[in-house]
């Protein structure tokens, strides 16, 4: 029996996942995937991806977990596989819906400090780009130069282009209909880091062993107005 595993919404760290759950925002963390793989117990799995990406380190951890899985892994891109989600899609034999999109780009990050810090950050990001390109290279056979150029350009691909460039193995329903190119608005880019920090400082993690249900309900009631304010900041940022 084949088990289905979803990679939907933002790709986030396991430590931050509870914040997304609390706000009712769809997200996927390495802990989610590791739990699902443990439950699959070596059975074949199908991974459904529809994600604009997120935390590249969380994406790398999910990619590695899927590559290490002992059963067969089929990747189904049912919407979007962009950024960190595109890395995850390299973990097995893959298919993409005719209406799907695929995107690769450079790793991004921020820093504060003098020019030495900025130069160092630039060097680290270039190293991170090369690390991510390794996953693409193993799948596609493209050279480092070709891949880094595509990443520099933030390359978007239709289903046909993703298959043509060997990032994906085949288009779903290819024997039934022609592929349709789609454009997606409002791609998820995650909760702003500043807002995550405010939530961490305002609300106790309900999954903490020292928390109880009544404490959490009191916190949640007390925090409603603050959360409305935080959500307003997310829209304005």
Residue 179: pLDDT over 80: no
Catalytic residues: 83, 105
Going from N- to C-terminal start, the domains of the chain cover: 3-105+154-171, 193-236
Q: At 74, which helix (H) or strand (E)?
A: strand 73-82
DSSP conformational letter for 2: P
Q: Which CATH number fits domain 3-105+154-171: 3.40.50.150, 1.10.110.30, 3.40.50.1100, 3.90.226.10?
A: 3.90.226.10
Q: For residue 182, what pLDDT band results from cuts at 50, 70 and 90?
A: very low
- Which residues, in sequence order, are bridge partners of residue 74? 46, 93
Q: Are the C-beta atoms of residues 163 and 169 closer than 8 Å to each other? A: yes
Q: For residue 110, what pLDDT band results from cuts at 50, 70 and 90?
A: confident
Output 173 or 222, whichever has higher pLDDT: 173
Separation between Cα atoms, residue 14 and residue 30, nearest integer Å:
6
**Structure-block tokens of residue 136:** 């693409």
Q: What is the pLDDT of residue 198?
A: 72
Instruction: Summarize pLDDT for 34-86 with one digit per residue, the tens.
Output: 999 999 999 999 999 999 999 999 999 999 999 999 999 999 999 999 999 99
What predicted TM-score, i.e. pTM, was given to this entire model?
Answer: 0.77
Q: End-to-end CA distance of the chain, in Å? A: 46
């Amino acid at each position: 029996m084949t088990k289905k595993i979803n990679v939907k919404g933002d790709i986030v760290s396991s430590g931050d996942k509870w914040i997304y759950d609390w706000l009712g925002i769809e997200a996927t963390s390495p802990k989610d995937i590791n739990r699902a793989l443990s439950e699959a117990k070596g059975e074949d799995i199908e991974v459904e991806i529809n994600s604009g990406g997120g935390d590249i380190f969380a994406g790398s951890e999910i990619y590695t977990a899927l590559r290490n899985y002992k059963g067969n892994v089929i990747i189904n891109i049912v919407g979007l596989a962009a950024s960190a989600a595109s890395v995850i899609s390299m973990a097995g034999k893959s298919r993409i819906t005719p209406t799907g999109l695929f995107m690769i780009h450079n790793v991004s990050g921020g820093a504060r400090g003098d020019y030495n810090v900025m130069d160092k950050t630039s060097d680290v990001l270039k190293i991170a780009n090369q690390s991510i390109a390794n996953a693409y290279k193993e799948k596609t056979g493209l050279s480092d130069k070709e891949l880094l150029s595509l990443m520099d350009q933030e390359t978007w691909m239709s289903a046909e282009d993703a298959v043509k460039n060997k990032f994906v193995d085949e288009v779903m329903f290819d024997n039934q209909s022609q592929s349709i190119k789609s454009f997606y608005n409002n791609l998820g880019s995650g909760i702003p880091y500043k807002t995550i920090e405010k939530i961490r400082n305002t609300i106790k993690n309900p999954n903490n062993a020292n928390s109880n249900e009544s404490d959490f309900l009191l916190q949640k009631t007390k925090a409603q107005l603050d959360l409305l304010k935080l959500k307003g900041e997310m829209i304005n940022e």
